[in-house]
A and B are shown apart, each in its own frame.
Chain A
């Protein structure tokens, strides 16, 4: 007795000591991805609760975390938070139920998050996580054991605090692979020896150029031996230290964990001094059901058991009772199918019935579904409680909960039928149709009784691309169930000709991109158009900023100058762009002062006021606007001339006088020298176009006077005084 007691005491003491010293593993689950790639389903239900192989997606994610011994989980839900919380509280993950393997499962609410970045910045503020944590998305399906990666990460982190993150990747082979994301190909540059991730980029068939620019520093300083891999399946499993969150906070404009954060942090390695590593697995399964195409692919992988043990047969979720029968048919209790129904390689949920002579292949059917006689289902996803009446044929489509499809209908490839849709008899849908009873923003639609039968409650949804402003975003390739780039006029075979076609007039189009044809624009590389956009926006922002400062009566120009320089740095604007912006701003201000609204002043007065009213404005023009020798001055005057040309309001003759007055004023202020003005006078660009000539002519008097002044130096000097 005493002996037994002793041993017990020892053991429990030992166990207690161990549990104390063991640091807990934390995980952050992002259950909202701030995307709409699951439309129309996500209008009513959050993505993480949508069933994949009859199991809500979040179950796979949480099982994955439990499998890896995670102890504390923080979930951010975003849209439909209540539904997720409700689901979790009734599931085995509820921390109140004793069945939960996690000691903490907490929902994180962020009120105005608009991107993943916002959520993570908020997490940083709350400092919920204090050790290494695993960052995953709520649509992750994986059976990878992270122990090795975690140990490696910990070792690196102990070596240096700069090693902040490890991304977990699965090699996907060189060949085409259904589980690789379509449309966006992640490219990782990884050091072969240290596994350090050196560069990250994404490529898309919509890019016109098939190039990735690699920082020369990678070759020069960072690595002697590295691989550039585009074959990786990135399930976005990140092992992070809390510094990662701090880094998110520092970079307030990062939104996406990959395209912004990973790319940015790796690019600015010199600045932030952080290092990120990549752990590439050749075993195990990891993928994110980040869009419907991935949903399709992962469902196939579940059917063919790649996700083992997360397959229906293992009944990982409580109360599931799947058993495998012959022909790869996995059925739950209470499934009835007629003897002459042909079923192969499918998953069928509880209490579903399948009528006689029906054929079901490679499909997943939820619980309580009624499949009539002579129905043909191929590669379909039928969620719970749906009714498919006799003689209907469905191919590679998704039919959501509680939908009814009438007799002898044909649902072709790529159709998405949302929750509770009623479709009448004999309906024939077109490919890739999206049928929903509610619109994108959740209000009921006007039923399309012509197409879907008299009793219907739904209508086809307008193609969501129409309202999309950003055509270059490769995300549009991921919106449909079936991946296709046909409608974007791109195919792998024609890419080379296409890119040469575009490259000729690339920059012209960029310059006129405001009214460029949308379809042409979609073919442009996003990089090029971004740059053009940035330059335009710099010019506009700068001019407006300066104008506001000039108009202000307070007359302190220093802050405006600071803002302008900041803008310049942010946009990496060149000197000539700056000069143009300054010239245009002052030209507009001067022109404004001629109008009754602000003045009206005489041109000479206006010129004087525009240049000298604010303290420091003169100096600003001198240093920033002109700041140089003759060519710069010529350029400045040209810009001034152009700016006045486009200035609205006063008639051209007065504007011409204004230009002369401005030049005189600038000359008087020692900003411009006679060489500059004369140089401009001789420059042929100054007479380019009718308006320009008119303006130029008005300055003849000034120029002639200057020419004389040059001859009589003494007089010039005295004039100045």
Chain B
């Protein structure tokens, strides 16, 4: 079985065509634009339509899609050390991927998993950096990894989209695990752990 990759991105149509790999067997692209409605905080994805957002637009498709892929790569403009609004709108509405019930792990409270496995996570930020934004983004990604119970998490920043495109053209995700090392020695490989790389491209 080949790995299945899901790429959530906030690129426009022309940029996506130029820099993202073409979708096909084992690769799903999910554009954050045109943007979906923002999360209402209603918890309907937990207690009304479990596993799926109650708002009836394509944003509701994302949580079930996560469950069908081995790796999720989030391509986002770096905003204050976090995700861009359009990307975050998708992520906010994906908490149906996990259960509402709290469990303790390592003495701290987390939500329980809904699915037997979680995709590995990659955060590819693009655009200008400011101050310690990338470091904040690394901590955000690590928090997400713990909450979504991902086996791995990688964070990288690409000042220009050409570098991003090269990174995405690398090997596909391995089934049930993190992605392979990138070419050219600019790897940001982490297996079962966490890595952060800045200044690629």
Is this pair of chains taken from one and the same complex?
Answer: no
Partner-A contacts on B (CB < 8 A): none
